[in-house]
Copies of this chain bind each other. A is one copy, B any other.
Amino acid sequence: MPVVVKQIETVVKDRALIARRHEQICEAALLHFARKGYHQTSVREIAEAAHLSVGALYTYIKSKEDILLLVYHRIFSLFREKMSEAMAKSGDPAGQLRAAIEATLKLYDEYHDLILVLYQESHTLRREALQQLFEVDRRYVSMLQAIIERGNREGQFAAQDPNLTAIVILFLCAVWPLKRWNLKKYDLATVTDSVLGLVFNGIGGSHGLRDN
């Protein structure tokens, strides 16, 4: 569902048109960002890929940075949606954690170029935009943290610091998009198994995780 980013002031009035154009711009930008990065793609290129003139583009954004914001907001809304639905499944903490990790990896797989841009270009954002990004990250961490804490209470887990563990596990999922170039010979399922193996058993044991 298209989302109008309210922080971005526009000249055009029609709300539906704004949303449609923002989506066009987002997709066009992502196409280039993933290949060349933010700084090496020009506004002209984005405009062309979005089937707009430079002038028209600038009636939907105030500056180039707005395009990056647009892309980031797309990530956020996407993840909010997908993650919370993945978490709501199994009641067992171990099952929930497994589902969360699987969902995250699947998302990272589907939007790997987006994640790459997220990690590589975050330092480009202004303080205000960065705070927003941190906030979203914190929310995902606390989702995982809640699961881990429950697992600890029920004796399934023994994590010393649930917050730290949540951060580390979430980061671990980013291997797939960030180290893609040297994971070429593996597929999503294999990497998922490896990550789940490490999280649940460490390096010492593999007790047949995928038993379905």
Contacts and interface: CB of A to CB of B under 8 A. Distances in A.
Interface stretch (A46-54, A74-82, A164-172): A164-172
Given A158-B203, A161-B186, A201-B202, 5 more contacts: A94-B212, A137-B182, A157-B203, A157-B209, A171-B174
Interface of A: 36-37, 39-40, 92, 94-95, 97, 119-121, 123-124, 134, 137-138, 141, 148, 151, 156-161, 164-165, 167-169, 171-172, 174-175, 178-179, 181-183, 186, 190-191, 193-195, 197-212
Q: Is the interface of A mostly helix, strand, loop or mixed?
A: helix
Q: Which of A39, A183, A201 has the most CB of B within 10 A?
A: A201
B204 A204 contact: no
Given A134-B181, A182-B167, A200 B194 contact: no
Contact of A208 (B37, B137, B191, B204): B204
Nearest to A162: B203
Contact of A197 (B119, B160, B208, B210): B160
Given A190-B161, A211-B207, A168 B195 contact: yes
B194 A94 contact: no
Q: Which of A134, A206, A209 has the most CB of B within 10 A?
A: A209
Contacts of A158: 201, 203-207
A161 B164 CA distance: 26
The 6 closest A-B pairs by CB, nearest first: A158-B205, A202-B202, A39-B39, A201-B202, A171-B175, A164-B194
Contact of A175 (B156, B167, B179, B203): B167
Contacts of A205: 157-159, 202, 208
Given A199-B198, A202-B199, A171 B178 contact: yes
